[in-house]
C-alpha cells in the first residue's frame, strides 16, 4: 500500500478515536455513493454528521482542510443525501472536517464543525 494511503488510514482512525472521545456515535466509515466517499458518518446531539478527514504529515503545503475542493463538497453533499434517504433518517445533517497532522514529532487533530454549507 502506498505510504500516503497508510497515512490516510491512520488519520481516519485518529479522527474516529477523537469523535468517540467526544461522545459521537460512529454510524458508518468509508460510505460510497457513485464516485464520492464519506470518510465517517456519525451521530451527535440529534444530528447526523458527515466528516471529511484530511491527513498530512507536514504543514508545508498548507492546512489539510484547505484541500477540500468545491467539487469534493458537492460530492459529499450528494452522498450524504443518499445515505440519509437510504436509511430513512429524519435528522438534520452537519458537514465537518477533521484535519490531522501526523508525523514522527507530532500528532494533532483539529475538528472544524459546520465546515461548509449545503448549497
Pairing of strands 107-112, 25-33: unpaired
Higher pLDDT, 53 or 5: 53
Distance CA 106, CA 58 (A): 10
Sign of the alpha-carbon dihedral angle for 70, 72, 76, 82: positive
Quick: pLDDT tens for 65-103.
667 788 888 999 999 999 999 999 999 999 999 999 888
Identify the residue whose cell numbers are 458518518.
Answer: 41
Residue 3 — pLDDT band, cuts 50, 70, 90? Answer: low
The full set of domains in the chain, from first to last, is: 3-112 (3.40.1350.10)
- The pTM for the full model equals 0.88
Quick: pLDDT tens for 6-38.
878 989 999 999 999 999 999 999 999 998 999
What pLDDT score was predicted for residue 64?
Answer: 56
Amino acid at each position: 500500500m502506498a505510504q500516503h494511503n497508510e497515512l490516510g488510514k491512520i488519520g481516519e482512525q485518529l479522527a474516529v478515536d477523537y469523535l468517540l472521545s467526544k461522545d459521537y456515535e460512529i454510524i458508518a466509515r468509508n460510505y460510497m455513493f457513485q464516485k464520492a466517499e464519506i470518510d465517517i458518518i456519525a451521530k451527535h446531539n440529534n444530528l447526523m454528521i458527515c466528516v471529511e478527514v484530511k491527513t498530512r504529515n507536514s504543514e508545508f503545503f498548507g492546512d489539510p482542510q484547505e484541500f477540500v475542493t468545491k467539487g469534493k463538497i458537492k460530492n459529499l453533499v450528494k452522498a450524504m443525501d443518499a445515505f440519509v434517504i437510504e436509511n430513512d433518517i429524519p435528522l438534520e445533517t452537519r458537514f465537518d472536517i477533521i484535519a490531522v497532522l501526523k508525523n514522527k514529532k507530532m500528532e494533532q487533530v483539529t475538528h472544524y464543525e459546520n465546515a461548509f454549507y449545503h448549497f
